[in-house]
Structure 1
């Protein structure tokens, strides 16, 4: 690999989701700048140059990027700053997602419009501006439907609605997490939910990796785990890969990683649910590495710096990950982890990101996760079972808030 030490990278965000980028950039000996609105975010303390700047303040980020003459700009596991990154890339003529593409990917309404224009398979949908219109659209599409904020990430503001008396609640939940005046109402497709990690370079989608998804029970559509390899048969998987490539092309994701959620319907057809022009969350970079040997985070950095990437698998190891979560809102009273857990050679990572006294929330959105378990095994089924069994052994006791 070409020596890139000393090149200047701007990492947008400093929370737990950005730590892999910060750690890899330190390993590559890059000149790192980190920004986050929260001056106490964990990543702010890991580098010499950190600035308390809101990641969606486009002008402030552009000014900082110009002042320091950065060579690349990156984020991962969140859609929120993607338009900011696109604007900086356009402004400084850097490699990566453009502003127009960022808008198409970050605003679910624009995603739906672009995919419809290019004829890419997706659910039926309606764009609404009021609770009354949400009800009309739900009746038109037919229950169950998905009501979602159009510009959020981390599964915020997304609700599955199975009865009309829940429409009002779902609409308010979506409005809570949007800065716009519209909300999406989408057809709920009964089928197999899977995801895909894709990587593009020079206008070509170089690789698509399809993985299994596990969602939280109940109305909040929050991913709780993933695994490789895909459970789909070869025909279904090839159809999913083709659909993802058409989707990426339709949205104009010509450079870097993308994270795609799909539903495989009863006819084996793949329908695009969500698209993010960034690395996936919920342990997906770790799983991609363990499954293929490809360092997704490093390649994301290289691509942002305009360097060649290497996204060719060198192995195929079944693996799975699940997140840790609190079963209720409250304050962490105690964390109990049996010492014998670490004796399992197939446990790769067990991470708890909260401590005693921290405030935690029941799982309603991706950022409510409080840790992770990553495992390998001979099959994805065994890896999933192992990850879930280890998760059950970790006891996080909470005091309910009054």
Structure 2
């Protein structure tokens, strides 16, 4: 497919968006990148960079219209996803509906749509600013902002006093000043990367997730493949596909997060109508399946058809791919020494302060690829 002469607008310039920028340039597409500025990787690699608040949707649209861009995209961020879809609508490009965007960026509305559609979810309720909380039973609960990602404002609470404090914190983190309180599900956690064409959903990868646990559940590592049996894999695919339809996802990438309890019951934690972050969509998918997820995202933005064969992937890959995050320099150096030649990418967070309260504050990461025979070695580091 020839991309020569195409122009694409990319919203955001952090390390995740930088993957998208580099892919577009690799395909011969002229990149126009919009972000806050500050020396981010994407700012330096963009063909053209515009320093602007990514929530200034009308301003960015006017510039995109003037530039006559052929597509607009972003990955790994609900905030930039909203801007992308606003501009796509104004330009008349293919996009998910406004209803879909609302349902996949507001956790409270998402829960309502999933419940109405018969998808399995935890118990939940919303909490608003200056609202009196009702006494709850059956602790613990997870408290989180209705409209943020990256573990911002997330807390596990075991009593009513903790609940009040956590709700206040999550409301302060929320753009809408709203928090969601939901039943805490014990069990293994997975993420699912999907691509949709006219309402048909293709599951590309199931990833095993590892977090810090309580209180904030910040991601420590991701592993693909997830090493689950075929029956569970098919069950996950059915549950996620139904949920995507319930949330009116019709086009492009999506990222779903689920937990499976000891009884084998699947509970949907949340779903975004965009590619997942933490290098899952940009790096792990292509290494694990050979499906070029970034290329698919760009094709979707340009309104180009994606064939079923481009979504099939390779089931015979005999290797394991993982991203491992370090929360301090000591752990980072240990991973570096342990895997050495198996590391395919690594970086340190220049803004690391030592206080990790969300995923953006971790010390650094390694993306590691090992043969299947070494899967236990990498699992031990992930856990």
Partner of residue 392, structure 1: none
- Out of 373, 377, 384, the residue aligned to residue 378 of structure 2 is 384
Q: Distance in 1 between matches of 2:47 and 2:148?
A: 30
Taking a change above 3 Å as real, the CA distance of residues 102 and 232 of structure 1, as seen in their structure-2 partners, is same
CA deviations 1:85-136 (Å, max 9, x no partner) are 1111211121233333112111111211211221211111111225764453
- Out of 196, 219, 228, the residue aligned to residue 224 of structure 2 is 228
Q: Distance in 1 between matches of 2:364 and 2:147?
A: 25
Q: Distance in 1 between matches of 2:340 and 2:8?
A: 38
Q: Distance in 2 between matches of 1:325 and 1:175?
A: 28
Q: Distance in 2 between matches of 1:112 and 1:279?
A: 20
Structure 1 residue 341: deviation in Å? 5.9
On the 8 A contact 2:349/2:361 being kept in 1, the answer is no
Partner of residue 281, structure 1: 277
On the 8 A contact 2:224/2:322 being kept in 1, the answer is no
CA deviations 1:292-351 (Å, max 9, x no partner) are 111111111111111223111124344242343334xxxx89x8689866753xx14241
**Structure 1 residue 325 and structure 2 residue 340: aligned?**
no
**Structure 1 residue 265 and structure 2 residue 261: aligned?**
yes
TM-score normalised by length of structure 2: 0.90
On the 8 A contact 1:123/1:188 being kept in 2, the answer is yes
Let me know the Cα RMSD of the aligned residues.
2.5
Taking a change above 3 Å as real, the CA distance of residues 379 and 364 of structure 1, as seen in their structure-2 partners, is farther
Question: Alignment partner of 1:61: what SS?
Answer: helix
Map 1:3-402 → 2, pairs under 5 A: 3-130=2-129, 133-134=132-133, 136=135, 139-140=136-137, 142-284=138-280, 285-309=282-306, 310-314=310-314, 315-327=316-328, 343-344=340-341, 347-355=342-350, 358-375=351-368, 376-378=370-372, 381-382=375-376, 384-385=378-379
Q: How many residues align?
A: 376
Taking a change above 3 Å as real, the CA distance of residues 131 and 317 of structure 1, as seen in their structure-2 partners, is farther
TM-score normalised by length of structure 1: 0.86
On the 8 A contact 1:228/1:380 being kept in 2, the answer is no
Taking a change above 3 Å as real, the CA distance of residues 18 and 380 of structure 1, as seen in their structure-2 partners, is farther
Q: Distance in 1 between matches of 2:246 and 2:61?
A: 27
Q: Distance in 1 between matches of 2:157 and 2:336?
A: 42
Structure 1 residue 379: deviation in Å? 5.5
Q: Which runs of 5+ in 2 are unaligned?
A: none
On the 8 A contact 1:320/1:380 being kept in 2, the answer is no
Q: Distance in 1 between matches of 2:253 and 2:127?
A: 30
Q: Distance in 1 between matches of 2:66 and 2:206?
A: 40
Q: Distance in 2 between matches of 1:380 and 1:200?
A: 33
